[in-house]
Amino acid sequence: MKTTAELLAGEGLRGKRVLVRSDLNVPLDDAREITDDGRIRASVPTIKTLVDAGAKVVVMAHLGRPKGEPDDKFSLRPVALRLSELLGKSVTFATDTVGESAHHAVRGMSDASVVLLENLRFNAGETSKDDAERGAFADQLAELGDAYISDGFGVVHRKQASVYDIAKRLPHAAGDLVRSEVDVLRRLTENPSRPYAVVLGGAKVSDKLAVIANLMNTADRILIGGGMLFTFLKAQGHEVGTSLCEEDQLDTVRGYLNTAKEKGVEIVLPTDIVAATAFSADAEHEVVRADAIPADRMGLDIGPESAAAFAASLAQCKTIFWNGPMGCFEMKPFAAGTVAVAKALVQATSQGGFTVVGGGDSAAAVRQLGFSDQQFSHISTGGGASLEYLEGKNLPGIDILKG
């Protein structure tokens, strides 16, 4: 993949319009205030490099899942304000993607200025499965630029107009963020330092089955928490009460447990659980044995014994990848397991270990719980993209940059 530096050297981008696909899909509260600006901050270095080179930078991004038409609650306007603050310069906000506002904003650009287009997904062509419709939107986007930089790692697993098709239409390169993310994932999959542990959480085991299957070829141990752990417990014949459980995955999970044993990969499951009467921070809850969850209770976190065991297991490892919280960390009574895993990664980092927080809810969790990005070797900006890479899948947004 051509780098931003190589494109700068080869194309001479001063005064040129450079379209940058960033990932600015940040969480907003009910007042439309940004609650975690991590993805915006991660996008700044590439934009700043281009600004410093005198380019006219046109940033493209999406927010949420609008249905192919404008929707105020998914507007990128709050992101434009935060991006202006982080860049230390005004960012012009276009109120559409390829319409009159976008063309007017781009025509009025001076060298080293920045424009942010409105949410790409307000146009159905962005995510269309129809190549022609998607290509037509990519043609409209390409009219706004002279070159293209792919820097939104969180979307490189999607075959979308601003990620895939536009790279066929303009001179292109991988942004520094995308390159660093790919370098990290290669380090996790190509001869990682051992012992190598993977910590997986989150709600659904079905979301992680393919990555578990592939990681059994590279990881030494896999620690299971979050809602997905209850499908594992039930597969072993245990009562899980009213906890999340995917009954249709029980046979698959049993097969994975057998495969892990055959390959010598250690699957670490919790031995105790924090079980509550309801999904609520105020619900009555208690610590119970993982093999003795009451029929009328749901597991909402791993227990203290398990948290200590997970931390001890991770302390022995030189490489750790973590994707998915251990429990409902948003509610204080059920955050301790996630905190324990985060602390274990921080400790491993301080001792020279390579620790990766795999984006999505995991990244949100560590920041919400008071940890800083600098306490880990890497916090990914793309949970889904990271998992698909670790599954061994080809990522369209990466493959197209290799041409």
Active-site position among 227, 360, 383, 397: 360
The reply to whether 62 sits in an annotated binding site is: yes
Rg for the chain, CA atoms, rounded: 22
Active site residue 39: yes
The reply to whether 367 sits in an annotated binding site is: no
Active site residue 403: no
Contact criterion met (CB below 8 Å) for 354 and 187 = yes
Give CA–CA dist 304/338, Å, rounded.
11
Q: Show the tokens assigned to 56.
A: 């006219």
Give CA–CA dist 224/302, Å, rounded.
10
The reply to whether 21 sits in an annotated binding site is: no
The reply to whether 65 sits in an annotated binding site is: yes
Task: Classify 356 as helix, strand or coil.
Answer: strand
Task: Classify 55 as helix, strand or coil.
Answer: coil
Task: Classify 343 as helix, strand or coil.
Answer: helix
The reply to whether 297 sits in an annotated binding site is: no
The reply to whether 359 sits in an annotated binding site is: yes
The reply to whether 25 sits in an annotated binding site is: yes
Q: Show the tokens assigned to 79.
A: 């992101």
Active site residue 152: no
The reply to whether 12 sits in an annotated binding site is: no
Give CA–CA dist 397/403, Å, rounded.
11
The reply to whether 52 sits in an annotated binding site is: no
Active site residue 360: yes
The reply to whether 123 sits in an annotated binding site is: no
The reply to whether 234 sits in an annotated binding site is: no
The reply to whether 64 sits in an annotated binding site is: yes
Residue whose token pair is 């007042």? 31
The reply to whether 63 sits in an annotated binding site is: yes
Q: Burial letters for 248-269: b for 16+ Cβ neighbours within 10 Å, e otherwise?
A: ebbebbeebeeebeeeebebbb
Output the CA torsion sign for 187, 190, 194, 197: positive
Active-site position among 15, 68, 99, 384: 384
Cis ω on the peptide bond leading into residue 294 (within 30° of 0)?
A: no
The reply to whether 158 sits in an annotated binding site is: yes
Active-site position among 77, 204, 367, 393: 204
Active-site position among 39, 159, 179, 221: 39
Binding-site residues for substrate sit at 23-25, 62-65
- Residue numbers annotated as active site: 39, 204, 360, 384
Binding-site residues for ATP sit at 208, 299, 330, 359-362
Binding-site residues sit at 23-25, 39, 62-65, 121, 158, 208, 299, 330, 359-362
Binding-site residues for (2R)-3-phosphoglycerate sit at 39, 121, 158
